[in-house]
Amino acid sequence: MATVKKNLVLVGMMAVGKTTIGKIIAKEQKMEFIDTDKNIEKKQSMKINEIFEKKSEKFFRIVEEEVVLSCLEKNNCVIALGGGAFINSNIRKNVLEKTISFWLDVDGNTINKRLKWKTDRPLLNIQNKKEKIEELYNERKNTYKLANHKIECNTMSKKDIVKKITSLYEKH
């Protein structure tokens, strides 16, 4: 019988690489990969931008909580949370009790460069993206710190990030 692996959860700001890193780890560890934002889009049959626009951020957060909590009930998964999901106290409590979590930390300048021309981030559909990214980071970093591990990704390659997370995960 295959051993049941505890879920590995990636938290952090938008555009830090949760999906990219998560897919690599899942493949290497022979685990299922779940991008909770993609699951929300599937469930609602619309992009997150549209959900914010047509139904509100509040509605999105309610659906996000349902989707994330249901994903956490599975086993052998690498789960990439949306940037704001870990801020939800119920989601955070469940992640911290049931999984091994990793905060992928990237500085605001890097995030800004990655998102400069993107238009699919509802919280950044504003004039001064850089300022908003800094504001969100400052609001969220103390909550992200509660994850089991913090991975400083600024100067690391994808390969090194994956190696570090895998090594810490396997020690649990």
The DSSP line for 31-71 is -EEEEHHHHHHHHHTS-HHHHHHHH-HHHHHHHHHHHHHHH
Q: What is the pTM of this model?
A: 0.92
Supply the pLDDT for residue 128. 72
Supply the pLDDT for residue 54. 94
Domain boundaries, the chain: 8-161
Q: Which of 63, 15, 14 is nearest to 40 (CA)?
A: 63
DSSP 8-state class, residue 91? H
pLDDT tens sequence for the chain (172 residues): 456 789 999 999 988 999 999 999 999 999 999 999 999 999 999 999 899 899 999 999 999 999 999 999 999 999 999 999 999 999 999 999 999 999 999 988 888 787 765 555 555 565 677 788 888 999 999 999 999 999 999 999 999 999 999 999 999 8
CA dist., res. 77 & res. 72, Å (int)? 8
| CATH for 8-161 (3.40.50.1100, 3.40.50.300, 3.40.190.10, 2.40.30.10) | 3.40.50.300
Q: Are the C-beta atoms of residues 117 and 76 closer than 8 Å to each other?
A: no
Supply the pLDDT for residue 4. 73
Supply the pLDDT for residue 153. 95
Q: Are the C-beta atoms of residues 26 and 32 closer than 8 Å to each other?
A: yes
71 φ, ψ to 5°? -65, -35
Supply the pLDDT for residue 55. 94
